[in-house]
Amino acid sequence: MNISQLEKAAYLLQQDHLVAIPTETVYGLAGNAFSNQAVAKIYALKNRPRFNPLIIHCRDLEMAQEIGVFNNNALKLAEAFWPGPLTIILPLVQNIPVSQLATTGLKTIALRVPAHPIALKILELANIPLAAPSANPSESISPTSAFHVEKAFKSSDGLSMIIDGGDCNVGLESTIIDLSRKNPVLLRPGKITKEDIRSFIGELSNIDLGMERPNAPGQLKRHYAPSIPLKMNAQEVSERQALLAFGPFPILGAKKTLNLSPTANFVEAAANLFAMLHELDNPEFESIAVMPIPYEGIGIAINDRLSRAAS
Ligand code: TXA
Ligand code: MG
């Protein structure tokens, strides 16, 4: 990646234009977090509901501390996992000019430092925090390559530049943990698991949906969805279906089969998930059948994304 391209990207971001950038999780649709104009373009381009707030990406912990009020647990997790696929929700620092569209007017803010050299370089050059949701239309499958972004926003003039950083190596959106409440709550599972986090700050609970308002941030049920139906925990498959297999013994008989991980490795399966869904999302198939994936470790995050795609 040549530096003048990254300088151009940084300049465009400072001018409130949108740039798609690679991160280790998925590609992000980035805009200046201090600019309502830039953030409004993000919501418009994605057709994203206005009540769903954005993650703010920072160059480092220092930049993040200018925006979020860090408690002890937050400092421990930032030290352990940043840069990396962990987003932390914290109280918003008062009188900081973060776009209220990005926070949807909440008194809290979602912060993360991405572990990708290109994303970090752009953040350093632009020297502003960047609001960046996944670079896909709302509800569709998240992008893990520059090609996925191009496919999604081809004819759109709302996106000024796409930076190609190759395939994302994590492949699932960041784990989100809310540390703005009395007790830590896991809002979205990801590669960094509850067990990983527990050893630093103790027990955390899952979000209790019954207790939250229906539109609680991040709890939109349908998400990451292909345009054809998706069926989980398949035990058999027909010749009209595509099969997303897992492990050494794929079910036989599908029109086309892709295997998330022939060795049943969760890290490999996570990295392949969205790319394989993009590839099988084709009207030549009646539906996509997905073989069972154990609910343990990163398998929990994979099942979370699949169940939203299936709903
Ligand atoms: O890996 C990722 O996190 C990717 C890359 C680009 O960094 N970004 C991403 O953004 O997944 P997005 O917009 O697809 O997901 C942001 C999530 C949403 O579920 C949103 O509701 C939640 O973060 N969120 C943002 N601010 C929040 C807040 N103050 N309280 C609770 N949830 C919040
Ligand atoms: Mg998304």
- For 113-135, what is each residue's pLDDT tens digit? 999 999 999 999 999 999 999 99
**Integer Rg of the chain from CA:** 19
Residue type, 183: N
Q: Of 25, 187, 35, 52, which Cα lies nearest the Cα of 119?
A: 25
| CA 132 to centroid of ligand 1, rounded, Å | 8
User: Cα–Cα distance between 246 and 166 in angstroms, integer?
Assistant: 24
Max alpha carbon distance in the chain (Å)? Answer: 60
Which pLDDT does position 220 carry in this prediction?
61
Over the chain, what is the mean pLDDT?
Answer: 94
Half-sphere exposure of 19 (CA within 13 A, CB side): 27
| Residues near ligand 1 (Cβ within 6 A) | 23, 25-26, 28, 52-55, 85, 87, 89, 106, 108-110, 114, 132-134, 173-174, 176, 187-188, 217-218
| Nearest-CA residue for atom 12 of ligand 1 | 133
| CA 219 to centroid of ligand 1, rounded, Å | 10
Q: Parallel, antiparallel, or unpaired for β 288-290 and 28-32?
A: unpaired
Ligand positioned closest to the Cα atom of 53? 1
Which pLDDT does position 311 carry in this prediction?
80
| Tokens linked to 132 | 């960046």
| CA 254 to centroid of ligand 1, rounded, Å | 35
Give how far the C-alpha of residue 58 lies from the chain's centroid of Cα atoms, to the nearest Å: 15
Q: Indicate the pLDDT class of residue 215, thresholds 50, 70 and 90.
A: very low
| Nearest-CA residue for atom 31 of ligand 1 | 217
User: Cα–Cα distance between 292 and 303 in angstroms, integer?
Assistant: 9
Q: Indicate the pLDDT class of residue 214, thresholds 50, 70 and 90.
A: very low
